[in-house]
Structure 1
Amino acid sequence: MTKNHRTTDHQDDGRATTPRRGVLRGLGLTLGGVALGAGAGAAPAAAAGRGSGRPGTGPCTYVLVHGTHSAGAYWQPVAQELVLRGHRVVAVDLPLHGSQAFVPESYQRQDLEALATEPSPVAALSLDDYERHVTGVVRRVAAHGPVVLVGHSLGGATVTRVGEAVPELLHHICYMAAFCPSPVLPTPDACTAAPENADALIPLGQIVGDPEQLGVMRLNPRTGDTKDLQALHEMMCADYPDSVFRQRLGGIQTDESTTVYAGRAVGTPESWGRLPRTYLRFGRDRTIATKLQDRMIAEADARTPRNHFTVHDFPDASHLGPLDRAPVARALAELAP
Structure 2
Amino acid sequence: MNGLLRKVLRFGTMISATALLSSALPGCGGGDTDGGEGGDGPQGSERNTYVLVHGAFVGGWAWDKVVPLLEAGGNEVIALDLPAHGDDQTPLADASLQAYTDAVVAAIDGASRPVVLVGHSMGGTVVSQAAEARPDKVKTLVYLTAFLMKDGQSLNQEWADDEGAAIKAYAVPSSDGTSLSFKEGWAEDAFCQDCSPEDIARLESNLRDEPAKPFGEPIHVTEERWGRVPRVYIEALRDLAISPAEQEQQYTALPCERVISIDAGHAPFLTKPNELAQALRSL
Are residues 1:236 and 2:191 paired?
A: yes
Letter in 1 for 2:236: F
Structure 1 CA distance for aligned equivalents of residues 179 and 94 of structure 2: 9
Seen in structure 2, the aligned counterparts of structure 1 residues 242 and 61 have a Cα distance that, compared at 3 Å, is: same
Structure 2 CA distance for aligned equivalents of residues 169 and 203 of structure 1: 35
Seen in structure 2, the aligned counterparts of structure 1 residues 134 and 206 have a Cα distance that, compared at 3 Å, is: closer
Structure 1 residues 50-84: Cα deviation after superposition (integer angstroms, max 9, x where no partner): xxxxxxxx953100001112111101111110001
Structure 1 residues 186-212: Cα deviation after superposition (integer angstroms, max 9, x where no partner): 111111012xx10211364662632xx
Paired-residue identity, %: 28
- Structure 2 counterpart of 1:286: 240
Structure 1 CA distance for aligned equivalents of residues 80 and 127 of structure 2: 12
TM-fit CA distance, 1:218:
3.0
Structure 1 residues 133-177: Cα deviation after superposition (integer angstroms, max 9, x where no partner): 111111111xx2231110000000000001111101111110100
Letter in 2 for 1:327: E
* Paired residues for 1:304-315 under 5 Å: 308-314=256-262
Structure 1 residues 104-129: Cα deviation after superposition (integer angstroms, max 9, x where no partner): xxxxxxxxxxxxxxxxx213311011
TM-fit CA distance, 1:278:
0.7
Structure 1 CA distance for aligned equivalents of residues 65 and 107 of structure 2: 21
Q: Which runs of 5+ in 2 are unaligned?
A: 1-9, 20-45
Structure 1-normalised TM-score? 0.68
SS at match of 2:254: helix
Seen in structure 2, the aligned counterparts of structure 1 residues 155 and 4 have a Cα distance that, compared at 3 Å, is: closer
- Structure 2 counterpart of 1:75: 63
Matched-pair contact (CA < 8 Å) for 2:49–2:76: yes
SS at match of 1:97: coil
Structure 1 residues 20-66: Cα deviation after superposition (integer angstroms, max 9, x where no partner): xxxxxxxxxxxxxxxxxxxxxxxxxxxxxxxxxxxxxx953100001
Matched-pair contact (CA < 8 Å) for 2:58–2:203: no
Structure 2 CA distance for aligned equivalents of residues 146 and 59 of structure 1: 11
Q: 113, 129, 143: which is aligned to 1:145?
A: 113
SS at match of 1:91: strand
SS at match of 2:153: coil
- Structure 1 counterpart of 2:160: 193
SS at match of 2:214: helix
Structure 2 CA distance for aligned equivalents of residues 164 and 4 of structure 1: 20
- Structure 2 counterpart of 1:275: 229
TM-fit CA distance, 1:263:
1.6
Letter in 1 for 2:153: P
Seen in structure 2, the aligned counterparts of structure 1 residues 164 and 93 have a Cα distance that, compared at 3 Å, is: same
Matched-pair contact (CA < 8 Å) for 2:167–2:191: no
Structure 2 CA distance for aligned equivalents of residues 161 and 218 of structure 1: 25
Are residues 1:320 and 2:274 paired?
A: no
Matched-pair contact (CA < 8 Å) for 1:182–1:296: no
Seen in structure 2, the aligned counterparts of structure 1 residues 201 and 136 have a Cα distance that, compared at 3 Å, is: same
Structure 2 CA distance for aligned equivalents of residues 215 and 292 of structure 1: 26
TM-fit CA distance, 1:240:
2.1
Structure 2 CA distance for aligned equivalents of residues 127 and 74 of structure 1: 20
The size of the alignment, in residue pairs, is 247
Structure 2 CA distance for aligned equivalents of residues 244 and 218 of structure 1: 19
Q: Which runs of 5+ in 1 are unaligned?
A: 13-57, 103-120, 221-227, 302-307
Seen in structure 2, the aligned counterparts of structure 1 residues 150 and 203 have a Cα distance that, compared at 3 Å, is: closer
Structure 2-normalised TM-score? 0.81
TM-fit CA distance, 1:234:
1.9
Matched-pair contact (CA < 8 Å) for 1:203–1:232: no
Seen in structure 2, the aligned counterparts of structure 1 residues 136 and 193 have a Cα distance that, compared at 3 Å, is: same
Structure 2 CA distance for aligned equivalents of residues 153 and 77 of structure 1: 18
Matched-pair contact (CA < 8 Å) for 2:168–2:241: no
Aligned-residue CA RMSD in angstroms? 2.2
